[in-house]
Amino acid sequence: MKIIDRYILKSLVGPFFLAFLTIMFVLILQFFANFADRFIGRGIDFMSLIELLALQSAWMVGLAAPMAVLIGVVMAFGSLTTTSEMTVFRASGLSLYRLMLPVVIVGFLLSLLVERFNNVVQPQVKYKARSLMSDIAKAKPTFGITENAFSPLVDGYSILVQHADEKTGSIGDIIIYDATRKDYRSVITAKDGVIDFSADGRYLVMMLSDGQIHEVQVPGHRLYRKMEFDRHRFVFESTGFGFSRSSENRARSGGHELSARELLSVAEEYRQQVEVAERKISMPIDMFEQAISLVAPSNAVNYPEVRGGSNVRAVTAVAGYIDRQLGLVESELKVIDMNQMLYNRYMAEYHKKYALAFACFVFVLIGAPLGVLARRGGFGIGAVLSLLFFVLYWVLMITGENMAEWGVLPPAVAIWMADVVIAVIGSTLTVSLTTAVFRSSR
């Protein structure tokens, strides 16, 4: 039996590494094609570019390994079926379950290895890669701006643009969140603008046209003002711009830069904030009935502003109190929604680290029966079948992430849904082949 197990594993190794290297090459080539024009001519040395490509390849490993497992298993079992070795094994009394056993064990071990990579290596590499990308962005302002996504180009500001032209520096449909002041929050919108360095290189200048500035006082949102402008100029110190390597003291941000333990810690903080907001809401709600009862003059002694006054004054005072409490409730409800969404997002990222690693094991379950069904076709048919099921897996994963973030499903259920669906399909195919197709294999 050990000879057969070694033979099956040996037939798996070649296709696995071929598929893995091919997928990694395609992903790296795609990344370089998308960003090459941003790197070249920006004063960035060649070794920094090589380092960036190496660091960016970390997240690619998490995708390439499961897909390579699927391709490798499909090709290995397809080859066994094509050469009639599967018929010989069956005649010797070996079932498909037994033939899959060594591959299942290797898939499980590979899942454990990928899980360690996702939790230990990848957060560190992603942190360094983002730091290096940030350093490169400072060599050219528009490099740090991604269309249809918030970009922290300048500390304290979040910049969203719908259109950006790297050659001219023009940007369009702009939204800027300004959190640089403790007592005010500002939102700036503009139809178009231009971003570039000043002539002496000392300042980063953003010239906006046809826009508005909205300011609100915090906390409490007591004061609000709105200003409109035809042209408005933002000037920032350019210290830190121009390509240079920064120190590695940047705070980690985003789930990709955190390990599973750190993700749980952050998610727990957001969950506690939700509980605090819920308790704050329960207090004004409990006071509503008491406040309404104060409309009667006999009960108005507890509130100086209505004591001894007419019923109209009491009603006015209570109405004002209720309006203030409703404002607090509305504010806390927004806090709950935001913190709950962030909690769901980090918990989804937590489960994703394990679900993607476990995909190596799940794809073994579906790869073996697909290989038997494919029979002939070699690498081509194996790659096509693998791609179809990997696309299905990834669609389910992305759908699960969105459903988890918006609270449609619990994060654990939403993220693991992809693995469960693929595992069920694979198990069903395996049982079906064992009872029918496998017996008639020839």
Banded model confidence at residue 418, pLDDT cuts 50, 70, 90: very high
* 223-243 pLDDT tens trace: 778 888 888 888 766 544 444
* 35-67 pLDDT tens trace: 666 666 555 667 777 777 778 787 788 888 998
Does the pLDDT of residue 414 top 50, yes or no?
yes
Q: Contact 402/417 with Cβ under 8 angstroms?
A: no
CA–CA separation, 72 and 337 (whole Å)? 44
Banded model confidence at residue 112, pLDDT cuts 50, 70, 90: very high
CA–CA separation, 414 and 422 (whole Å)? 14
Please tell me which residue, 310 or 28, carries the higher pLDDT value: 28
Q: Give the tokens for residue 300.
A: 């108005």
Q: Give the tokens for residue 289.
A: 């009935």
* 154-184 pLDDT tens trace: 667 788 888 877 667 788 888 888 877 777 7
| Domain range list for the chain | 2-138+350-440, 141-237, 255-346
Does the pLDDT of residue 249 top 60, yes or no?
no
- Site of tokens 């920006």: 42
Does the pLDDT of residue 427 top 80, yes or no?
yes
Strands (E), 198-297: 203-217, 224-237
Q: Name the pairing type of β-strands 184-197 and 203-217.
A: antiparallel
Q: Mean pLDDT: which of 120-124, 299-303, 345-349, 385-389 is highest?
A: 345-349
* Per-residue model confidence (pLDDT) at position 322: 67
* Residue closest to 141 by CA, chosen among 126, 161, 112: 161
User: How many residues make up the chain in this entry?
Assistant: 442
* 313-354 pLDDT tens trace: 666 766 676 677 677 777 778 888 888 888 998 899 899 989
CA–CA separation, 22 and 53 (whole Å)? 16
Does the pLDDT of residue 299 top 50, yes or no?
no
The three-state secondary structure class of 162 is strand
Please tell me which residue, 150 or 306, carries the higher pLDDT value: 150
* Per-residue model confidence (pLDDT) at position 421: 94
